[in-house]
A and B are shown apart, each in its own frame.
Chain A
């Protein structure tokens, strides 16, 4: 189990996370939602070890991830960042092979097990037909899949995703999330995913944590967390919620919510 305990982090003087405590089981997807600037991406940066927190710990089976070297940590935590500014001249296979860095010597020579892990990751993300293409020649959805494949090649029990579907169209969103879900089950990973779209979070996540101003406001299954009252408090705007009985509420704005009288109180 991944345990995030009492994390407080800041950029300079500005505190961006305050006493965040969360847990994610193996085989479980926990979605992080909340308004812009709530600290969702910052939380991923802290858990992945690139932003040292002021206080708190991140434990995996009792060991503190933040006290490890980058190499040790990268064998436990993999990150799928947003596909931006990827080096255009790398081939897909090269990029995915970099997921093995934590297992490789300084020279980066791939061994048998590394090659096998790379091919497996390429196969699981349906990238084998594109393996020799250059990143610069791929669509946004394909690039995002490459980053997922790279994370899978790391063979970690923890997977962090930072708004992986933001730049994807509907079909690619659906495909990508289905893939993450399947792999979460197959590999029994603990998955922490920042999601901007509440309906995606509602339908895709096992549990959901709502963040606002660096704090966890609510955490639980989607039906518990996604209430009109909570969303009004966190986002500062009234929404309608449609509950169809499957435990995964649907959030929507009606035209009257967008007229001037109904803007932020």
Chain B
């Protein structure tokens, strides 16, 4: 039982390493692999860049590509793992931060913070993920309350509640943006899941949220397993089900907030990745969470790569790319769910 999991982790790490490398190396200016390795090695040692590598390459790698890649990694991994956790708590394979409306709620929080602060990244930089977290928590609580029927959450009410609450949050977000002139233009760009802001600041601003959320999610596999039998049985098996759910939803919302705060609203990663992981490696959440974390990061890094290169020099919002492969997948899952019932 142990070794298939190790193989899965190894495979995911290998894909992730490739995706990370491509993400740093490929772009409007491609960095030869050899130069990239030497630059990174020099950076790790704290030495100056090798003399034969053009200076602008060092700038591109350290000031642009690395922080961008790091942010995409944090975002993708947070979406994948929080998607798995939401699916586990709601006991519904269609739950994900996007369909639950949680991402929209977090986006509303982020935009509201910008509107209040005026300036996106200076004084208010730390406030954005905090506000996104509050938005995410409020949304998930509201959707859960609306969708719950007799102690469990059926697919149709979940989607209806998620879409409705998400649409409301998006509408308020749009209103806030229309009310503003200059500062929120940037908000529009990144809420589309488009070009994330540059530099290391956003990475550092979301890192604490990511770390806190992911730590809790990674150790919550067992309670999530118990919850798969329903809240009542979980309680009878000795789990304080209410408290466990609250903790896991809180952690998933921390991770979602980290993902949305600077990368915008990106759909379907949190749905597709855990689903594939479940098909390939089973339903044990102690494995599903870490595998969804790694897989989510790889999928988003590769989607982001496509978004940057497909119509180069133009950059597509990455949300468009994930929707292009995610929406058909979503329909397929829905089809399977229908078959399962009939």
Contacts and interface: CB of A to CB of B under 8 A. Distances in A.
Interface of A: 45, 48-50, 69-71, 73-75, 77-79, 81, 85-91, 94-95, 98-99, 101-104, 106-108, 150, 154
A99 B239 CA distance: 11
A98 B236 contact: no
B225 A70 contact: no
A79 B283 contact: no
Contacts, number: 78
B235 A50 contact: yes
Interface in B248-283: 278, 282-283
A94 B225 CA distance: 9
B124 interface: no
Interface residues of B, number: 25
Interface stretch (B41-49, B215-223, B296-304): B215-223
Contacts of B221: 107-108
A98 B282 contact: no
Contacts of A70: 235-236, 238-241
7 contacts: A70-B240, A71-B239, A74-B238, A89-B278, A94-B225, A101-B239, A106-B220
Interface string B279-295: 00011101000000000
Nearest to A109: B222
Nearest to A108: B222
A89 B236 contact: no
B157 interface: no
B230 interface: yes
Given A50-B236, A73-B238, A101-B226, 20 more contacts: A48-B236, A69-B240, A70-B238, A71-B238, A71-B240, A79-B236, A87-B283, A89-B278, A89-B283, A90-B228, A90-B284, A91-B282, A94-B225, A95-B229, A101-B222, A102-B237, A106-B220, A106-B222, A107-B221, A108-B286
A171 to B, nearest CB: 27
Contacts of B225: 90, 94, 98, 108
Contacts of B239: 70-71, 101
Contacts of A106: 219-220, 222-223
A118 B145 CA distance: 37
A49 B240 CA distance: 11
Contacts of B229: 86-87, 95, 98
A90 B236 contact: no
B233 interface: yes
